[in-house]
Amino acid sequence: MSERADAPRHYGPKIMRIELTPVFVPFHETVKQAMQSGSGGLGMAIAAEEAWLGGDFVICRLIADDGNIGTGEAFVWLPETGVSPEQIIDAIDHALGRYVLGESPFNVERIRHRMECNVARNEVAKGLLDMACYDLMGRIAGRPASDFMGGRSVDKIPLAALIPLMDVDSMAGFAEYFHGEGVQTLRIKLGNNIQEDEKIIRRIREALGDNVRLRVDYNGAYSATEAVRAIKAIEPFGIDFAEQPVRASEYVGMAYVQKRVDTPLMAHEGCFSLQDIVTLMELGAIGVVGINSERPGGVTSALRAIACAEQRGMGVVIHNQTLGIASATQIHLAAARHHSLGHAAELFGHVMLEDDLIIEPIDYSSGFATVPQGPGWGVSLDEDALKKYAKGHAVEIKS
């Protein structure tokens, strides 16, 4: 592969090969049962018709010419991300890969700029490559990936737990269980109707007291006028923020709601790029910024989003149901930007999925996640598990 005339000289290892593997990991049986017994068979107020039985992912490995390997992971679910693993792989194979091959992984800004200039949107695919670059940097330098995000501020990050939308007694039971395990923040799925929402929050607040932090997620269940009434109904119980009360595409609707409630809003289903976040900020449509391993497209853009939020006095929430690679990524990011977040991270893949595809287990205990030790993400891909859960052969792209 020939370099552009304006390309900088490389004084370290270059990325010479990309390997992309589509993966499907089922949910634990208990999780499937809980979801199927809940709203819409999904445990949330979302109108998707297909059963959600597990997680679809793409595992990316960047292989440098010195033999070091950096790993990334993208989670996809069509009702939210709108792309399949195969589409992500195709975008990298036929377009994005050329802006990574032959590059130093340390040139994340240059790689990001070239991808943005040459391929519109595709934030999930771009973020997958960007994530793997940070792991590869750490492997080459023998340093944790958080060192390339400003350095680790804490050794453990606080966690939030997810309560699926079910009958009130079951939701209260889940809330009490997680609180007993040391979790001090809960994300509660709502959205069947306003009266039921109020009943659920009242029950959980009365059961756990005022010291537990509550956040709610509507998954776009309401119209803008309904959302205002729904949020006002639960505001007396002290809510940190309300996630996606209206449909993903309704930016104006989000702004309408945010101007009429005291609770900060957070966009999720409708927020994939850094520009989406800035637009929502400028519209006055959000009070909290939500990011994860695929939104707004990798670590480099996530760092920008966190800085943007901090400048505006907004909190940041990191949350996802990922395998071990992306969970480690988000833990490193949260530890490096701990003082800028203001909210506990919610990483629920280890609870929901039957395998996390890593060898070294991440320590999730007493309501905290410990930052993995070692170079890069500090975790290694389990090759046997990768083979077990792969949906097809790995696609290999060479320089």
Is 70 exceeded by the pLDDT of residue 88? yes
304-314 pLDDT, tens digit per residue, is 999 999 999 99
Residues 212-237, mean pLDDT to the nearest whole number: 98
Helical axes 274-282 vs 251-258, angle rounded to 10°: 40
- Residue 159, SS3 per DSSP: strand
* CA end-to-end distance (rounded Å), the chain: 6
| The pairing of beta strand 265-266 with beta strand 288-291 | unpaired
Q: What is the pLDDT of residue 42?
A: 79
Task: Give the pLDDT of residue 2.
Answer: 43
pLDDT tens, position by position, 172-209 = 999 999 999 999 999 999 999 999 999 999 999 999 99
**pLDDT value at 9 more than 80:** no
Instruction: Dump pLDDT digits (tens) for 268-306.
Output: 988 999 999 999 999 999 999 999 988 898 999 999 999
pLDDT of residue 270: 84
Query: What pLDDT score does 10 carry?
Result: 59
**What pLDDT, on the 0 to 100 scale, is given for residue 51?**
83
d(CA 344, CA 121): 29
**Cβ 302 vs Cβ 271: under 8 Å:** no
Question: CATH assignment of 149-370?
Answer: 3.20.20.120
Q: Give the number of residues written for the chain.
A: 399
Which residues in the chain are classed under CATH 3.20.20.120? 149-370
**Kind and range of the H or E run holding 188:** strand 185-189
Q: What's the pLDDT score for residue 1?
A: 45
**In which residue ranges of the chain is CATH 3.30.390.10 found?**
15-143+383-398
* Locus of tokens 């998707």: 48
Question: Does residue 37 carry a pLDDT above 80?
Answer: no
Average of per-residue pLDDT values in the chain? 94
pTM, 2 dp? 0.95
Q: Is the pLDDT of residue 334 over 50?
A: yes
Task: State mean pLDDT over 358-377.
Answer: 97
pLDDT at 99: 98
Do the beta carbons of residue 167 and residue 159 sit within 8 Å?
no
> Quick one: average pLDDT of 90-108?
98
Confidence of residue 11 (pLDDT cuts 50, 70, 90): low
Q: Is the peptide bond before 296 cis (omega within 30 degrees of 0)?
A: yes
Fold classified for 15-143+383-398: Enolase-like; domain 1 (3.30.390)
Percent of the chain with pLDDT over 90: 88
Indicate the pLDDT class of residue 317, thresholds 50, 70 and 90: very high
Between 207 and 1, residue with greater pLDDT = 207
pLDDT reported for residue 172? 97
* pLDDT score, position 35: 77
Structure tokens at 210: 């005022």
**CA–CA separation, 202 vs 270, rounded Å?**
28
Least confident of 7-11, 92-96, 219-223: 7-11
